[in-house]
A and B are shown apart, each in its own frame.
Chain A
Amino acid sequence: MQVLFARHHVRVFRFVLRLVRDEATAEDLISEVFLDVWRQAGRFEGRAAVSTWLLAIARFKALSALRRKPDAELDEETAEAIEDTSDTPDVTLEKKEKGEVIREALNGLSAEHKEIIDLVYYHEKSVEEVAEIVGIPEATVKTRMFYARKKLAELLKAQGIERGWP
């Protein structure tokens, strides 16, 4: 268990943190994730990668925790995540390097879009694995990723970065 925890806990923590946006909650949740794994180890059939199994459990726990949060608390966090756009896009772009603007735009995506971007780009999950973790058909995985990227392009355009796509 210690080996499994050492190998996967940072990535699972980051995945959960991106969903719940609270470090203490994310830490509590990863303890629960690995406890479930310890309890269910006999049921793991090896059909999927261990990391895919862990992320699926982590996602379920994170969404359950979010459902338990009062709406007022969520609204406050959403408001904090929305950037002050008092600068014009040109001024914003002059002040920041392009990579920083892209990172902010990635953080400004909806939870659903952020999740799929992270699973594909950071957690290196295939179409099939994302489908298993999120619980949606493979075709939906592809189109959701496409719309997440499209939304990202729109956010970047609003910040003065015109990428010529879509």
Chain B
Amino acid sequence: MNTKIKETQEDIELLLPWHAAGTLSRRDAARVEQALANDNELASRYELVREELGEAIRVNESLGAPSARAMKNLFEKIDAEPARKPASTFNLGAWMTSFVGGFSTRTLAYGATAAALAIVLQAGIIAGVVVKERSGGAELASYGNTASIESGAFVLVRFNPQANAADITKFLLDNKAVVIGGPAAGMFRLRVSENQLSQEELAGVVKRMATNPVVGFTVPSAN
């Protein structure tokens, strides 16, 4: 019996990296959640996993992007290829099924969240403009202000897949944060202040945001 429990614990521990990345099946994720709730030692090990995940993302994000040369080379090579026969038929339904089926559930969830956020943000911009016009140009807070999103202080946030658009909107309003990019690697880039913050101040913001159940994971982001 004890051997079986030990095997289960080891199995759960092996799954922690995938749980942190949000790529487990619903059933496995529930198993891990339950184990984390009942085992403080496992929960502290999970924090180490989350720390590694954050730094692994930062390592990869720091690699930059390929130059235009790669794309130029590719399309030159494609142009040099012998012409291919066009497909005799095109089944839009099958193509859509294959295209959408190519995305993970999580990607679709983030896509839906991003779409919902875009709608909310657009509504914010429109409301901001309308209120401003009606009040004769009074300075009202509007999160649609995109005048200078290049400067300020930024964080990367991965929202919990369970969070809905209303929760995320409230989180953004409460933290006076603006979504300015993403999702990339499942993370959104938020501007949390129009002014530059010190490393300590930004760490404080990240710490505060991390306690919000809407947030799955967050790290400071370079300007």
Report the nearest B residue to A10, measured CB to CB: B65
Dominant SS among interface residues on chain A: helix
Which of B96-104, B117-125, B129-137, B166-174 makes up part of the contact surface? B96-104
User: Number of residues in B with C-beta < 8 Å to the partner?
Assistant: 46
CB distance from B201 to the nearest CB of A (A): 15
Which of B30-38, B44-52, B144-152 makes up part of the contact surface? B44-52
- Does B48 contact A165, Cβ atoms closer than 8 Å? yes
- Does B17 contact A122, Cβ atoms closer than 8 Å? no
A158 to B59, CA, bound (A): 20
List 27 A-B pairs, Cβ < 8 Å.
A5-B71, A5-B74, A13-B70, A18-B60, A26-B66, A27-B69, A27-B70, A31-B71, A34-B74, A35-B74, A35-B77, A35-B78, A46-B98, A102-B52, A103-B59, A106-B52, A122-B56, A122-B59, A124-B23, A124-B104, A125-B23, A126-B24, A142-B15, A143-B14, A145-B14, A165-B45, A165-B48
Q: Does A164 contact B (CB under 8 A)?
A: yes
Chain B residues, Cβ within 8 Å of A99: 54-55, 58
Chain B residues, Cβ within 8 Å of A13: 63, 65-66, 70
A10 to B74, CA, bound (A): 14
Residue in B13, B18, B78, B101 whose beta carbon sits within 8 Å of that of A46 in the complex: B101
CB distance from B223 to the nearest CB of A (A): 17
Residue in B21, B66, B67 whose beta carbon sits within 8 Å of that of A121 in the complex: B21
- Using CB atoms and an 8 Å cutoff, list the residues of chain A in contact with chain B: 1, 5, 9-10, 13-14, 17-18, 23, 26-28, 30-31, 34-35, 38-39, 46, 49-51, 99, 102-103, 106-107, 117-118, 120-127, 129, 142-143, 145-146, 149, 152, 163-165
A125 to B56, CA, bound (A): 14
- Does A31 contact B74, Cβ atoms closer than 8 Å? yes
Report the nearest B residue to A30, measured CB to CB: B70
CB distance from B6 to the nearest CB of A (A): 15
- Does B52 contact A9, Cβ atoms closer than 8 Å? no
- Does B44 contact A121, Cβ atoms closer than 8 Å? no
CB distance from B61 to the nearest CB of A (A): 8
Residue in A27, A28, A51, A117 whose beta carbon sits within 8 Å of that of B56 in the complex: A117
- Does B106 contact A30, Cβ atoms closer than 8 Å? no
Residue of B18, B73, B97, B107 with highest tally of chain A CB at under 10 A? B18
Q: Does B182 contact A (CB under 8 A)?
A: no
Q: Does B180 contact A (CB under 8 A)?
A: no
Chain A residues, Cβ within 8 Å of B18: 120, 126-127
